[in-house]
Structure 1
Amino acid sequence: MTQSVSTAARVPGPLSAFGLSIIAAVLVIDQASKFVAERTLDFGRTIDLLPILSLLRVHNTGVAFSLGNDLGSLVLVAGTALITLFVLYLWRTAQDGGRLVAAGFALIVGGALGNLIDRVRFGHVVDFLYLHFGARGFFVFNLADVALTLGPILLGWFYLLGGRKASA
């Protein structure tokens, strides 16, 4: 007789209350922050917050680090949609990891949808958080990008760095 995965270790799926609430929270926070940035920040003007973080509203027509600016919105929308569907498939078929893994997938989906909404509505993504060290700038990002970073970190911690042992 084979042993089944315990209920505690099962991954709440994309349509679970847990998964949907994280996706919804990411979308609301992301879209609200972009709305405020669009209404209150002058385009291209930097406002220092911390020695390494400033506000700087820009419109990103590419993907991460403005790569793919020449691809066009339709290609980027289709690519983002396909990748999001693939992530949803991976999430639906995940066997273990519980809420940690579900949170990782939900952050990725919420972040991808947040940027996808911008790309469909405006033809670009609204970025407004500028990470820099002195005069050396690294990148401008938004809260959807934060979710798109934290999600893989959670999944990496579980699948690659031994989170499996901790949750067992």
Structure 2
Amino acid sequence: MLFYVIAVFVIVMDQLSKYLIRFYIDINETFTLWGIQLTHIENSGMAGGLLPGYARLFGIVAVLFVIGVLYLRRTGEMSGTLIDCSFGFLVGGAIGNGIDRLLFGQVTDFITRSGGILNLADHAIEIGVVLLIIYGIVDWLKNKPRSFCKSTE
């Protein structure tokens, strides 16, 4: 259930924020809200504006990614609260940006930071990746073979 709650929350917040930006802020307009610099841009490529014009292709990749995550969840190979949170953020972010790519042929970005201009879906994906790395480390530590020192007497 946690997976679905996080994914739906991310999708709703992402799409709502993008709608508000598209409706109220002109493209390339910059302003500050609560100390955060916001600049409205439309990105037809992937992160950082790489490969412009391929938004719909990346939208299809997002759909395939979501199908892959749903398959992994169904097999039960990866389970637990941490992976549910990770997958929730990843799927919510993928769907949020996928909606933009498939419907509009571009993604609305607006949160300015040192690495570029992103949106809430991008940040959700970053959170999901960090949680996935933590899950991988925890899982590795749990399943790591224990080596015992045996003294020879």
- Would you say same fold, with TM above 0.5? yes
- After TM superposition, give the deviation of residue 87 of structure 1 in Å: 2.5
Aligned residues: 142
2:42 aligned counterpart, secondary structure: strand
Contact in 1 for aligned 2:73/2:79 (Cα 8 Å): no
Change beyond 3 A, Cα 1:31–1:109 = same
Whichever residue aligns with residue 61 of structure 1, its letter is S
Would you say 1:112 and 2:94 are equivalent positions? yes
* Corresponding residue number in structure 2 for 1:13: none
- After TM superposition, give the deviation of residue 67 of structure 1 in Å: 1.4
Q: Match for 2:113 among 109, 120, 131?
A: 131
Contact in 1 for aligned 2:41/2:109 (Cα 8 Å): yes
**Structure 1 residue ranges without an equivalent (≥5):** 1-16, 133-137
Contact in 1 for aligned 2:94/2:125 (Cα 8 Å): yes
Distance between the aligned counterparts of 1:153 and 1:92, measured in 2?
22
Would you say 1:60 and 2:37 are equivalent positions? no
Contact in 1 for aligned 2:86/2:129 (Cα 8 Å): yes
**Structure 2 residue ranges without an equivalent (≥5):** 143-153
- After TM superposition, give the deviation of residue 73 of structure 1 in Å: 3.6
* Corresponding residue number in structure 1 for 2:27: 43
- After TM superposition, give the deviation of residue 48 of structure 1 in Å: 3.2
* Corresponding residue number in structure 1 for 2:58: 76
Whichever residue aligns with residue 30 of structure 2, its letter is T
1:68 aligned counterpart, secondary structure: coil
1:118 aligned counterpart, secondary structure: helix
Distance between the aligned counterparts of 1:74 and 1:18, measured in 2?
29
- Deviation per CA, 1:103-160: give whole Å up to 9, x if none: 101110010000111112211011110103xxxxx31100011111101111101212
Change beyond 3 A, Cα 1:64–1:73 = closer
Distance between the aligned counterparts of 1:144 and 1:35, measured in 2?
13
Would you say 1:27 and 2:1 are equivalent positions? no
Would you say 1:98 and 2:80 are equivalent positions? yes
* Corresponding residue number in structure 1 for 2:131: 154
- After TM superposition, give the deviation of residue 165 of structure 1 in Å: 5.4
Whichever residue aligns with residue 42 of structure 2, its letter is H
Name the TM-score, length of structure 2 as normaliser.
0.81
Name the TM-score, length of structure 1 as normaliser.
0.75
Aligned-residue CA RMSD (Å): 2.1
Contact in 1 for aligned 2:60/2:98 (Cα 8 Å): no
2:26 aligned counterpart, secondary structure: coil
